[in-house]
Amino acid sequence: MYAVDFETPMNVLIENLAKLQAVELERTRVSQSIRALPAEVTQAELLLAEAQQAAAAANSELEREDRLREKIEREAETHRKKAAHFREQQDSVTTTAQAEAIEHELTFAKAEIERLENEEYASLERTEAQETALAAARAQVERRAEDLEETRVNVEARRQKLAQLLEEFGAEREMLRKQIDPDWLARFDRIVANRGTGIARGENQQCTGCRMGLRPQIWNQLREGELLNCDSCGRLIYWDDRMTPAPKAPQAEKARSDGHAIRRPSQAGAHS
């Protein structure tokens, strides 16, 4: 025999378990994405509801102003009628006192008419501004209604794609599980139930699942192609010869900041 046999049963098992784990992680990721989708619609609905409220508020402000102006107009009309009545009376006065009294009433009515006409003008100006605000608020409602519709369509399209993906991953998962020895599969499932993941690569004499160091003996066995449990986290660990080892960081150049500042009580006591 002159070539390394990559298709040993152990290598196939390791590969299938690693693939199974990758598929499980993808399924989780896709499921989370699906669960996050309705929140996007809810958010768009919320924004539309806010815009609708703002438009309703702008509309009632406009209506309030209209009612106020109608009241001003009615009051002004009353004073105009009074003024007309006093002018008629002026033609038939007989005494100076009467003339003065009517003149006084007429002056008051004219002043009221002028005041109310000014108020009406101010009200019309407010209405003009309110109409602009209402138009802007209604345009905002339309935009947000369109946004909501777009979001719904977009979310549904993504949901369908994700559901399709989930189905594919589910099928792949079933296919892989069928290929894995039931005892190893049961061990793997038990670790997944406890740890979230069941299998991890050994790298730089560490378990990549928990980052704890591996005993030299375990490391050597991994290098020989065995599948073992990590002493620290219990995950299945394997060595992947296709992974190039990461270069070690130059430890000497890094100044340690921990541990040096602590003064021992005995040293502190020696000077006293």
Residues binding Zn ion (CB under 5 A): 207, 209-210, 230, 232-233
Question: Residues 138-143: contacts with CB within 8 Å, 24+ apart?
Answer: 138/55, 140/51, 140/54, 140/55, 141/48, 141/51, 141/52, 141/55, 143/51
Compare residues 72 and 227 and give the one whose CB is closer to Zn ion.
227
CB 200, min distance to Zn ion, A: 6
Would you list the DSSP string of 218-262?
HHHHHHTT--EE-TTT--EEE--TTSPPPPPP-GGGSPP-SSSSP
Compare residues 44 and 207 and give the one whose CB is closer to Zn ion.
207
Identify whether the C-beta of residue 236 lies closer than 8 Å to the C-beta of residue 226.
Answer: no
Residue matched to tokens 């209405």 = 127
Report d(CA 110, CA 77) in Å as an integer: 11
The three-state secondary structure class of 202 is strand
CB 211, min distance to Zn ion, A: 7
Compare residues 17 and 230 and give the one whose CB is closer to Zn ion.
230
How far, rounded to the nearest angstrom, does the alpha carbon of residue 111 sit from its chain's CA centroid? 60
Compare residues 182 and 245 and give the one whose CB is closer to Zn ion.
245
Compare residues 89 and 232 and give the one whose CB is closer to Zn ion.
232
Compare residues 89 and 229 and give the one whose CB is closer to Zn ion.
229
Identify whether the C-beta of residue 213 lies closer than 8 Å to the C-beta of residue 31.
Answer: no
Compare residues 165 and 233 and give the one whose CB is closer to Zn ion.
233
CB 29, min distance to Zn ion, A: 22
Report d(CA 235, CA 210) in Å as an integer: 9
Identify whether the C-beta of residue 227 lies closer than 8 Å to the C-beta of residue 238.
Answer: yes
CB 266, min distance to Zn ion, A: 39
CB 238, min distance to Zn ion, A: 12
Report d(CA 102, CA 107) in Å as an integer: 9
CB 202, min distance to Zn ion, A: 9
CB 236, min distance to Zn ion, A: 10
